[in-house]
Amino acid sequence: MDWSLEELEPRLLLAGDAGQEVGFALDSSGIQVQAIGDTGQEVLEVIYNEERISYFRVSDQWETYQINVDYTTIDPSLLRIHFVNDLYDPAQGIDRNVQLGSVTIGDQVLDSNAANVFSTGTWLPEDGVISGQGRGSVLNANGYLQYGTPSGSELIVYARGDEGGETMNVLAGSFRSDRISLTTKMTAYKFYLNTELEPSSVRVEFLNDLYRPDLGIDYNLVVDRIEIDGVVHQTEDPTTFAQGVYRDGALTSGNWQTERLEGRGHFQFDASDFTSERYTLDDSIAEAGVSIISPNLPFDVEHEITSSDQSAVGWSESFWTESGQYQKIVQVQLFDENGSALTSFHRGEPVELIQATMEFLDDDSLESSQFSLKDLEVDSQDRLLARLQVFHYNGNYRSYSNVLVRLTSDGQLDSSFGDGGFVPVSLGGITTASSMTIDSQDRILISNAVTISRYNADGTADNSFGTNGASDIPLPQEPDFYAGQSQILTRPDDSILVLWGIPSSANASAGWLIQLNEDGSTGTWFGDEGFASIPYQQFSEFSSYSERFERMVLDDEGRLTILGTQALLRFTIDGQIDPSFGDGGRIILPSSIVTDGSLLFDNTGGTFGLDGLGRYLVHYFNGVARLTPDGQLDTSFSADGISAYNPDEIGSLQPYSLKEGKFDSDGELRTLAQNDNGFGVAFWQLV
């Protein structure tokens, strides 16, 4: 419904009836939320039409929080205000609660105490925390106030915990209710949604599994059933898929006809129907589609594809020795395009890096637990370059150093590189916010939040870069910005792009792109004198200052695309927002969607890339979204551009473990993944 400014008259709305939209001018004040917290540590997020539009901390004084939006109309029944970080710790005297005052849309006021305001997080002495209308304006637990009842489905989830303290998420279509705290009493959690639901679009997640037999603690989630508009769907139905069920000595997935999850996982209702085009595991390459590397789940993992389409994989594992010592190993290994360990690389065995690095450093104070694998790159000669980071502790604070280790294509330490295959790196107190890449001349660039160093292919400092091989990253002249560079990459001409910065709540930018010339000087032709702001306001309809941009790719035309928590944004080669991409330069990716009876999109997995046809593939924890080169969800890929990893087909594969997706020269997808047999490379085919 469109309104002109002259048609609007101030009036009090006692929350919103479904479909009753409030209009306001584009230059109006948007949405204002009055709130107060008991401790000043409470955090609220504001949801409109199933999308987050703001996220902020509430003080312990009444304040009004301004949310700028680019809507021209708002339906109050689609507006929810979530309390997301409830904490009750009487031992420390902590009890987080938040009270909502009025919510103003333009010049219209919504009363948080109205009889038709729906709450999922209000505690009342007569019935505790249950869902319902007219329960007041206070949120005592993780939950939300919703300003009216949409004309869609009513969803009820009947759940409890074995111990009390278990938390769950409820997802239904694009709706998400975060971190609901459970008691041991079977409770009906009710949700009013603005869409018609099918059971296949409902998923219930168990978030905080804890098993401490020494303390007598065993967290488990019990979901008896769900109801959609009065129709019952049992958790024990044979079509309900369960992930996190303990059977035969292990946590596993399948249609177990159970109502209890013993491990972190989820119930997916009516998961028997799956119709999307999709990537599925290719068992013609490896058994069950996964070439197992280790029976354990590693902590640090890295994955690259060589020019010969071999998978270079690096991973770290920790364990206790028989003598009671805590040890850590970092290993690298090559796998051919058929999923077999490459016998020409160290006789088909992994190469362990920490012990050799410790011997090179010759420091008796170092222990293996101080090492972490941070990067793995492959150069033009298929040599493997690993970056190990070492932390040092002097009793007061930690500092960090780095060592580069290079192996030849046959898995031997490369004697032509540095000192017997090793190059120590100093960036002046490098922190964990660091990055590495290799340019077209096999020169190695390493950066932290303030400095980039470049090394020649033989490991010597490249004195043609900056001063003695190092260049300070030019920083934008803007206050309230935290140094937190996430990634660097090089263009074909060996100039450098830096994705930099962590914004604060006071800042209007979500990050910065900084262009450097090949010699380390600022590339003033890019953006505004070398700086391109990643605009927060560009995403004001969908996200908040916490939107993080940590990955970027270049296409064949030199355009730069960056991935945030939920948004893709493309810049032209000279650092301007590219209006030909998506919706004026951006596309907001779907999140928290359950579809086809199996698919959860819980924001992105933090990785994305370009296939051989210039299409973007964005990895989610349980699937892939494919976009056309101009930034539209690709309906030739599936009806909605989204492909799930079907649990009925992937069997014991743990979808949340999928990491580090890479494409070979034919555009085929590989990821790192975990199943019941262990951790390895997963090979996917599009069907």
Q: What's the distance, Cα to Cα, between the start and end of the chain in Å?
A: 42
**Pairwise CA distance, residues 645 & 671, whole Å:** 12
Residue 544's pLDDT is what? Answer: 41
Tokens of 369: 């637990």
Contact yes or no for 466/474 (Cβ under 8 A): no
Residue 388's pLDDT is what? Answer: 93
Residue 594's pLDDT is what? Answer: 57
Residue 79's pLDDT is what? Answer: 87
For residue range 45-58, what is the model confidence (pLDDT) as tens digits?
888 877 777 878 89
* pTM assigned to the model: 0.67
250-254 and 217-218 strand pairing = unpaired
For residue range 285-321, what is the model confidence (pLDDT) as tens digits?
888 888 888 888 787 889 999 998 999 999 998 888 8
- The answer on pLDDT for 30 being more than 50 is yes
For residue range 58-71, what is the model confidence (pLDDT) as tens digits?
999 999 998 877 65
Residue 21's pLDDT is what? Answer: 36
* H or E element at residue 383: none
For residue range 609-628, what is the model confidence (pLDDT) as tens digits?
888 788 998 877 667 788 99
* H or E element at residue 147: strand 143-147
**Pairwise CA distance, residues 380 & 372, whole Å:** 25
Tokens of 281: 């595991």
For residue range 175-231, what is the model confidence (pLDDT) as tens digits?
777 678 888 999 888 887 877 888 888 889 898 888 888 889 999 999 999 999 999
Contact yes or no for 196/153 (Cβ under 8 A): yes
* CA-based nearest residue to 221, from 155, 156, 166: 166
Residue 371's pLDDT is what? Answer: 92
373 vs 566, more confident: 373
Residue 26's pLDDT is what? Answer: 34
For Cα atoms 424, 427, 431, give the angle at the middle one, nearest 5 degrees.
Answer: 105
Q: What would the mean pLDDT of 486-508 be, rounded to a whole number?
A: 78
Identity at 80, one-letter amino acid code: R
Residue 3's pLDDT is what? Answer: 27
- The answer on pLDDT for 427 being more than 80 is no
Give the dihedral sign, CA 277/279/283/287: negative
* Most confident listed range (341-345, 423-427, 630-634): 341-345
435 vs 463, more confident: 463
Q: What would the mean pLDDT of 514-518 be, rounded to a whole number?
A: 94
The pLDDT confidence band at residue 542, using thresholds 50, 70 and 90, is very low
For residue range 585-595, what is the model confidence (pLDDT) as tens digits?
888 776 655 55
The pLDDT confidence band at residue 633, using thresholds 50, 70 and 90, is confident
- The answer on pLDDT for 482 being more than 70 is no
**Pairwise CA distance, residues 505 & 531, whole Å:** 21
For residue range 393-410, what is the model confidence (pLDDT) as tens digits?
777 777 788 899 999 999
pLDDT averaged over every residue in the chain: 81
* H or E element at residue 670: strand 669-675
